Amino acid sequence: MVTIIWKPDKKSKIPLYKQIIHYIKDKIKNGEWIIGEKLPSQRELAEVFEVNRSTIIEALDELRADGLIEGKNKGGTVIINNTWSIMASRKAPNWEEYIESGIYKPNFDTIQVINKLEWDNNIIRLSTGELSKELFPKEDMEEVFLSLSREITGLGYEMPKGSLKLREEISRYVRKLGIDASPESILIVSGSLQSFQLIAMGLLDYGSTVLVEKPSYIKSLNVFQSSGMRLKGIPMDQDGIMVKEIEKNINSKTALLYTIPNFHNPTGIVMSENRRKELLDLCLERRLPIIEDNAYGELWFEKVPKTLKSMDKSGVVLYSGTASKSLSAGMRLGWLIGPEAVIERLSDIKMQTDYGASSISQKAFYLWLKSGKYEEYLEKLRFKLKARRDAVIESLNKYFNDIACFDIPKGGFYIWLKLKEKVDMKKVFYIAKKSGVLINPGYIYDFEKNYSIRISYSYGSIKEIEIGIEKLSQIIRSQIL
């Protein structure tokens, strides 16, 4: 489906339908929209162009008469020609076939919609898993970059595993979390997601199985599936992933376990200390590697149990940390800790794919850690996030108390709102979207039907979130049979 961010000029003397025709023709002529690609429905086009549906019909009729598009009943309107192929016998490559043949799987439709709408300033984002601009440490960041500008002598490539200075600082920093990791066992990556991609490409066999919590953030992505792996969901309870269920599902195809023990995404659950010990014992016994994703571990309001990695004395845990959630998503910086042989293998693959994470981000984060600013900032951030959480809980109690249940998270970004009645969640998503509210419905994280919503208190202003929650409550109530 094509993407449209343009709107016709209603002050122009050129009729609106003519402007739309020129826009679509230019997109096709320039090869930006390709043969075989679908146009949005007439209703969707009318919404995005902010015109009457009759204007859209008039424009499409002319494009159809010119032989550029064709209606295919339930298949929608499809681009069938471009101006070059009309004027000459030569044909452009069938890019649609190339797109369909690519090994990397596309995101779910709902997630693609979410990703596009997260740039719309006119929508209330109850879903976004990043820090609000209100929480951005502007003064400290300015100071770090001013210091960096005075010290910097060049911006060449860093070492295969990343900046040695930064790895030494991370080694010192994670020691406070109980993790003993030398710089040689640390790989700097462009965020946690890249860690998982490198692991999929470098360590796992095609057709192997990755065990994950059910529901799971990783289910909303195709990191492992695109490399030929399959995900198997394991149930959770209030203490985290259920170890007995893991044991039942381990077989010759099982390659590893992915888990978020601290402030699980999307449920917010914190794995208990006893469950962590059980999990480590089982994985050691069955020689099953663990990816511990600790993206939210530093964002606690109440102290949490020790990380799995700090309890690991046998090298069974690959530990993923990141600055994306705690400091700034745009820094695109994370770290992976594991056995040196594994880190060597993955650093080699990383050099083949992007030749290293951003030098500027690495130098900047080194200064954040070295100066002690990072830990000072985290203390302030926890206080502000907790205030946001409390305000959102108050709104949920006001508008959802009788139709949903939820636990109060002890940290992180999210509240897992579980509806008491079954409703069409896809319909709720699109009605909310049309009403100016963006949500992450539970089904994008689950392996089966799910009647939950992930609510984020980290991004929107408290006032925006309250308005969004009230609107969402009204929408859901209208859909309960």
462: domain CATH number is 3.90.1150.10
> CB under 8 Å to 217, separation ≥6 — which residues?
260, 265, 266, 293, 445
Q: Distance between the two ends of the chain, CA-based, in angstroms?
A: 33
Q: Are residues 300 and 232 in the same domain?
A: yes
pLDDT, the chain, mean: 91
Domain end among 373, 401, 425: 373
Give the pLDDT confidence score for residue 92 in this predicted structure.
60
Residue 106 DSSP code: P
What pLDDT is attached to residue 74? 61
| pLDDT of residue 97 exceeding 60 | yes
DSSP per-residue letters across 3-31: -------TTSSS-HHHHHHHHHHHHHHTT
Q: Are 464 and 124 in contact (CB under 8 A)?
A: yes
Q: Of 445, 103, 162, 101, which is closest to residue 321 (Cα–Cα)?
A: 162
Cα–Cα dist 282/155, whole Å:
45
- Using one digit for the tens of pLDDT, what is the confidence trace for 59-80? 999 998 888 888 865 667 888 8
Question: Is residue 166 predicted with pLDDT exceeding 60?
Answer: yes
- The reply to whether 7 falls in a domain is no
pLDDT value of residue 37: 85
pLDDT at res. 89: 43
Let me know whether 235 and 347 are in one domain: yes
pLDDT at 88: 44
* End residue of a domain, out of 44, 79, 102: 102
Domain span at 440: 114-135+377-479
Same domain membership, residue 144 and residue 57: no
Indicate whether 278 and 346 sit together in one domain. yes
Measure the CA–CA gap between 141 and 419, rounded to whole angstroms. 40
How sure is the predictor about 221, in pLDDT bands with cuts at 50, 70 and 90?
Answer: confident
Instruction: Indicate whether 128 and 142 sit together in one domain.
Output: no
Residue 45 tokens, joined: 């086009």
Q: Are residues 196 and 342 in the same domain?
A: yes
Please give the angle made by the CA atoms of 110, 111 and 115, to the nearest 5 degrees.
120
Looking at the fold, whether 337 and 401 belong to one and the same domain comes out as no
Residue scoring higher pLDDT (30 or 441)? 441
Identify whether 107 is part of a domain. no
Position 4 in a domain: no
Is there a domain that residue 82 lies in?
A: yes
- Of 87-96, 164-173, 326-335, 412-421, the range with the lowest mean pLDDT is 87-96
- Co-location of 173 and 299 in the same domain: yes
Backbone angles phi, psi at 441, to 5 degrees: -70, 150
- The answer to whether residues 240 and 342 belong to one domain is yes
Q: What is the mean pLDDT of residues 264-287?
A: 96
Q: Is the pLDDT of residue 94 over 60?
A: yes
Domain end, chosen from 50, 81, 102, is at 102
Instruction: Provide the CATH number for the domain around residue 70.
Output: 1.10.10.10
Q: Are 337 and 397 part of one and the same domain?
A: no
- Please say if the pLDDT value at position 101 is more than 80: no
Token duo for residue 235: 């149930």
Q: Give the pLDDT confidence score for residue 75 in this predicted structure.
A: 61
Give the pLDDT of residue 392. 96
With beta carbons less than 8 A apart as the criterion, state whether 218 and 224 touch: yes
Specify the long-range contacts of residues 113-117, CB closer than 8 Å, at least 24 apart. 113/429, 113/433, 114/438, 114/440, 116/3, 117/433, 117/438
Res 377: pLDDT:
95
Say how many domains are in the chain: 3
Tens of pLDDT along 398-416?
999 999 999 999 999 999 9
Q: Write down the pLDDT at residue 98.
A: 74
Q: Which residue has the higher pLDDT, 45 or 329?
A: 45
69: phi > 0 → left, psi -120 to 50 → alpha, else beta; which? beta
Confidence of residue 83 (pLDDT cuts 50, 70, 90): low
CATH classification at residue 334: 3.40.640.10
Query: Is residue 479 within 8 Å of residue 420, measured between CB atoms?
Result: no
Q: Are 165 and 288 part of one and the same domain?
A: yes
Would residue 193 count as lying in a domain? yes
Would 10 be classed as within a structural domain? no
State residue 87's pLDDT score. 47
Give domain status of residue 186, yes or no: yes
How much is the pTM?
0.83
Is 393 contained in some domain? yes
What is the predicted pLDDT for the residue at 99? 72
Do both 120 and 71 map to the same domain?
no
Name the residue with higher pLDDT: 38 or 281.
281
